[in-house]
Every structure is written in structure tokens, then in C-alpha cells.
């Protein structure tokens, strides 16, 4: 039986779902001749680690206990019975990494939402371990960090960073490695903004659509976290870098759907929802009318072309794949030499703990050949 040792960083919605998938897939994995050996799990202030990291594991009872504690809002420290500083967690992880890197191998799985993990992950690569990410932040940090993380492409997987479980990165990697040049990617990579833009087509005002989206739980607690476009920008940057563009987050053109005067630091959320949002209705309505007169619709997309990588509202033909998109699905159109007139289209749910964790699990199994 091949064993894949792993450490999980982050035990939120996605991390816990991953642990549940690992436990419930035991017999499936056994049939495939692999076993995932969870050596450690950490959150922002504690780490649970197997007493014998070379051969032992946090068993399924322990993993279930971890999930239960975390979903009750407790810290991992209540399970491990000792809290640790972030620094202590980091040095303990590095200790395990250095021990397992050139013996059993180790996959370090980042399901946190932190920019702090980039430092650990860079070291993980140096010790010959593998990296699997759902977290976009390390891949959208400086080019130096990015280059380091992807320096051994066989050892990194990050399918769930773009489009959750959708096979976006895998599809692009296949196209790229076959020498088929990708010259354009247009994609709706936010379920929230996808829903908002397609609802606007029914004639409802922007403020109404956003309010309904919020009440349906489609938005972040403060909808400005979605409307600002930063999450889409991170996904766009990951795709652009995959295509070889030497870009950084601060060089991207990012259109925010609310003006700076309405940013969270100057306008409280209630004020934004009640007074701010309605002020934005007329302008968007105007743009929709203009687009519609040309047979186009508005979509909030990432657009990557030769030297261009931007995120914001674009007018797109209403009978194109993106133009036909309704609801909260993600959709990506990829144009290359082989997919020239008709793009390769990837569509489906682009968020959710379950699909995202499933994408991470598939990534871990995808690197199994690197383990003895
Ligand atoms: N949910 C989705 O649909 C989806 C889709 C695609 C990608 N993603 C990405 O997947 C990641 C996880 O999402 P989520 O919804 O599970 O987030 P979440 O619920 O906020 O969970 C984040 C977890 O990371 C932990 N954490 C924070 N800082 C850490 C650090 N420095 N080291 C280790 N762990 C740390 C947190 O610890 P505490 O519990 O102690 O705070 C928490 O357990 C995010 O990067 C997100 O962007 C999510
Ligand atoms: C993901 O998990 C979090 C934390 O358990 C939960 O609050 C959220 O509702 C879940 N999201 C979905 C779409 O199930
Ligand atoms: C394992 O890796 C460490 C650090 O990279 C190195 O010092 C040590 O010599 C290696 N051991 C073996 C057996 O290769």
C-alpha cells in the first residue's frame, strides 16, 4: 500500500470537508492501493501532530474530533490541549517537513485563507516536499515566491484556487504542454458577480439584486468583499502567471463596482446597503442599455490576452457562452490555436466547501507517484 503523508494547514469550511472526504474515501483509496496518512492539522494558533511522524498518524477518530471542535467554533488548542503561537506552529511544521522530506515524502496542503503560509511553503519546496493549495494568496504574492513554489511543477497542485473543483488548471496545463498557444481567456470566476450580472438582465436595479444576493447568502457578509473584485483578480493573476505573464497583483487593472468613497473604512455596511448601493443603479442601468442596443450583455469577467490582464465589466455577445450564462456558475472560455473559433468552455459550480475540498483531494491523489 502506497502511503501519502500530509499536513493540513487550515481547518475551516474547506479543510474540514477535506478531512471528512479523506475518512469517507478510505475503502475507495484502499482499492486503488493508496492510503492518506494525516501527520498533522493546524489552524491559526495550534497544531495537532502525530506522536510518531515517521510511521504514525492522527487517526480517523482524532480527525473527526478535530472537525467537530472546529465546527463548534472552538480552537484546535482545545483538542491538543495546548495553544501555540503562530511562530511555534511554523517551526514545528518545518521540523516535520525536514524529517519527512527525504524519507517518506510529505504533501503540505494549504486550505487556509492566510497570506502567512507563503513563507512555510517556500521552505517546504526546499525540503523536497509537495504543495497542494486551495489558498490563492501564496500564488499571488511576489514573483519571487511564485517562482519558488512552481520551480518543480510536478510537486505542486492548485486546482481549487481557480473555479473550485472545476478542472481549469488541469485543462490549461494540458493545452500549454501540448504547445498549443493560448491567446485569450475570458471567464466569470465569481459566483456572486455572475449571479448579479445575469439578474441585472431581467431589468432589476443593481441595488435590489445585490440585496437579494446577500439575503440568499450568495455574498460575503459585507457584499463589498465581492463587489471589489479582488478575489477574481487573484484568480486572474494565477491564470495569467500560468500562461507565463510576469505580472503582480498591483499591476492588474481591477474594476470595483463601488467607488472609493464607499469603501468599508469610510462607510459602515448598513449605510452602504441602504444609501450607498442605490446611488450606483443609474450608471449600471445606463451601461446595460448601451450594451443591449449592440446585442451585448454585461459580465464581470477576467480577461487575459497578450499583454493584457484585467478584471471588470465587459460587454460580451449575448449568444456567446458567457453571454448565455445564468445564475452562479463559473464559466471560462479558453481560446488557443486548436480552440480558435469555438473556445474550450469549462462551466460549473465554482465554489462550495464540498467541491473545493474534492478538488484538493484529487490534487493529492494526482501526485501519488512521487511517494514511495
Ligand atoms: N469555500 C469555498 O467555496 C472556496 C472555493 C475556492 C477556494 N477557497 C479557498 O480555500 C481556502 C479555505 O477557505 P475556507 O472557506 O475553508 O476558509 P475559512 O473557513 O476562513 O478557514 C480558514 C482556516 O485557515 C486557518 N488559518 C488562518 N491562518 C492560518 C495560518 N497562518 N496557518 C494555518 N491555518 C491558518 C483558520 O484558522 P482559525 O480557525 O484558527 O481561524 C481557519 O481554520 C481559502 O483560501 C479560500 O479562498 C474556498
Ligand atoms: C462552508 O463551511 C462553512 C463553515 O463550516 C459554512 O459556514 C458555510 O456555510 C459552508 N458553505 C457552503 C456553501 O456549504
Ligand atoms: C535529508 O535532508 C536534509 C535537509 O535537506 C539533509 O541535511 C540530510 O542529509 C538529508 N538526508 C538524507 C538521508 O538524504
Cell numbers placing 272: 452602504
Cβ of 84 less than 6 Å from ligand 1 = no
Q: What are the average pLDDT values for consecutive 10-residue runs of the chain, which has 372 residues?
A: 97 98 98 98 94 95 96 90 84 96 96 96 96 98 98 97 97 97 98 97 96 94 97 98 97 97 97 97 97 97 95 97 96 98 96 97 97 92
Whether 235 is catalytic: yes
Cα 238 to averaged position of ligand 1 atoms, centre (Å): 18
Q: Which CATH class is domain 2-165+354-370?
A: alpha beta
Output b/e per residue, 189-213; b: 16+ Cβ within 10 A. bbbbbbbbbbbbeeeebbbebbbeb
Is 136 annotated among the ligand-binding residues? yes
pLDDT of residue 80: 79
- Ranges of CATH 3.40.50.720 domains, the chain: 2-165+354-370
Tell me which of 235, 253, 290, 294 is the catalytic residue.
235
pLDDT of residue 306: 87
Cα 226 to averaged position of ligand 1 atoms, centre (Å): 17
Cα 117 to averaged position of ligand 2 atoms, centre (Å): 22
Atom of ligand 3 nearest to the CA of 98: 4
pLDDT of residue 258: 98
Quote the Cα angle for 304-349-196, to 5°: 70
Q: CATH number of the domain at 173-348, please? A: 3.30.360.10
Cell numbers placing 262: 464607499
Q: Phi first, then psi: what are they for 201, rounded to 5°?
A: -65, -20
- Ranges of CATH 3.30.360.10 domains, the chain: 173-348
CB-based burial of residue 237 (10 Å sphere; 0-12 exposed, 13-18 middle, 19+ buried)?
Answer: buried
pTM of the model: 0.96
Residues contacting 151, CB < 8 A, separation 6+: 125
Q: Are strands 107-110 and 130-133 parallel, antiparallel or unpaired?
A: parallel
pLDDT of residue 307: 86
d(CA 133, CA 23): 19
pLDDT of residue 102: 87
Amino acid at each position: 500500500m502506497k502511503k501519502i503523508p500530509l499536513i493540513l494547514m487550515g481547518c475551516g469550511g474547506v479543510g474540514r470537508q477535506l478531512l471528512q472526504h479523506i475518512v469517507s474515501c478510505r475503502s475507495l483509496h484502499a482499492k486503488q492501493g493508496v492510503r492518506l496518512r494525516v501527520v498533522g492539522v493546524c489552524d491559526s494558533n495550534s497544531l495537532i501532530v502525530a506522536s510518531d511522524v515517521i510511521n504514525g498518524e492522527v487517526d480517523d477518530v482524532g480527525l473527526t474530533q478535530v472537525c467537530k471542535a472546529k465546527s463548534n467554533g472552538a480552537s484546535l488548542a482545545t483538542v491538543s490541549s495546548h495553544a501555540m503561537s503562530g511562530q511555534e506552529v511554523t517551526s514545528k511544521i518545518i521540523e516535520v517537513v525536514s524529517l519527512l522530506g527525504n524519507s517518506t515524502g510529505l504533501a503540505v496542503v494549504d486550505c487556509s485563507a492566510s497570506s502567512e503560509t507563503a513563507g512555510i511553503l517556500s521552505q517546504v519546496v526546499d525540503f523536497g516536499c509537495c504543495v497542494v493549495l486551495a489558498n490563492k494568496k501564496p500564488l499571488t504574492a511576489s514573483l519571487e515566491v511564485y517562482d519558488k513554489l512552481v520551480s518543480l511543477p510536478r510537486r505542486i497542485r492548485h486546482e481549487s484556487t481557480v473555479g473550485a473543483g472545476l478542472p481549469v488548471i488541469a485543462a490549461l496545463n494540458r493545452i500549454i504542454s501540448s504547445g498549443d498557444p493560448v491567446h485569450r481567456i475570458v471567464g466569470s470566476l465569481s459566483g456572486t458577480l455572475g449571479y448579479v450580472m445575469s439578474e441585472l438582465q431581467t431589468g432589476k436595479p443593481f441595488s435590489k439584486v445585490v440585496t437579494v444576493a446577500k439575503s440568499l447568502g450568495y455574498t460575503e457578509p459585507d457584499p463589498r468583499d465581492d463587489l471589489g473584485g479582488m478575489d477574481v483578480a487573484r484568480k486572474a493573476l494565477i491564470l495569467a502567471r500560468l500562461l507565463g505573464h510576469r505580472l503582480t497583483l498591483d499591476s492588474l487593472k481591477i474594476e470595483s463596482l463601488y467607488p472609493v468613497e464607499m469603501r468599508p473604512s469610510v462607510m459602515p455596511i448598513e449605510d452602504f446597503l441602504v444609501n450607498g448601493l442605490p446611488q450606483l443603479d443609474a450608471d449600471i442601468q445606463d451601461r446595460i442599455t448601451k450594451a443591449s442596443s449592440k446585442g451585448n450583455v454585461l459580465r464581470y469577467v477576467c480577461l487575459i490576452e497578450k499583454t493584457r490582464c484585467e478584471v471588470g465589466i465587459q460587454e460580451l455577445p449575448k449568444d456567446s457562452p458567457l453571454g448565455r450564462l445564468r445564475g452562479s456558475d463559473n464559466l471560462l472560455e479558453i481560446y488557443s490555436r486548436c480552440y480558435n473559433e469555438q473556445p474550450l468552455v469549462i462551466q460549473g459550480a465554482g465554489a462550495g466547501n464540498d467541491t473545493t475540498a474534492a478538488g484538493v483531494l484529487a490534487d493529492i491523489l494526482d501526485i501519488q507517484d512521487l511517494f514511495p
